[in-house]
Every structure is written in C-alpha cells, then in structure tokens.
Amino acid sequence: MTALTIRELAKWLDIGPADALDAAKTHGVTEFWHDGQGFDLDQLARYLKRDWMHDPIPELEFESTPALDDFIWRIEAEHVISEACVEIANLDGPENIVCQRLRGLLQ
C-alpha cells in the first residue's frame, strides 16, 4: 500500500479535496492522520468539525487500499484514452473503433 495525502489524490483525480476524501473513504480507507494524530472515520468527522484557520482536508494522510489503487489506475487510464481519442480524431480513419477497443480494455 502507498502513503498519500488528500491533496495528492485530488490532483491525480482532478477533483476537489472534499471529493477526494469521499473517494478515499468510498474505496476502503478507514484511517487518516493529521499532525501526527491518527483518526478512524468517526474521530475524523469530529476532528474536521473544529473551527480551522485553514482547511486541514488536503493535508490528511492515509494509506491507500487495493480498491483505491485500482480506482486511481482506471481514472488515469480513462484520461489517457480520452487524450488518445482526441489525437486519433484528428487523423483519417476509423477512430470510433480504436477508441471503443481502448475503452473496452478498462472493462
């Protein structure tokens, strides 16, 4: 498993930190750290309700899970395929068939 921050996850997924936190929790992350303290999901919910001078969510650290690693891989693969399909669309030929086959690899 890989140690990450919510900021890193948000950047990879091209989403906001709150959505990245939700994605991490949805994909099996149950323990987070901030400023050397560990939190389970209930403790984290209480911790984040405090009044903060800045948003602590991007700084939260966690260990990835296999489900989250797979989710990140799929999102990255979809981005690469989308970029490739844009390039293919600029060429003459059967771009729809190529893109369908590439997308089929993710299923």
Structure confidence by residue, pLDDT tens digits, 4-26? 999 999 998 889 999 999 999 99
Predicted confidence band of residue 104 (pLDDT cuts 50, 70, 90): confident
pTM score, two decimals? 0.77
pLDDT at 73 over 70: yes
pLDDT at 92 over 70: no
- Structural domain harbouring 79: 3-104
Task: Please indicate whether residue 93 or residue 105 has the higher confidence score (pLDDT).
Answer: 105
Split into its structural domains, the chain has a count of 1
**Rounded Cα–Cα distance for residues 75 and 106 (Å):** 10
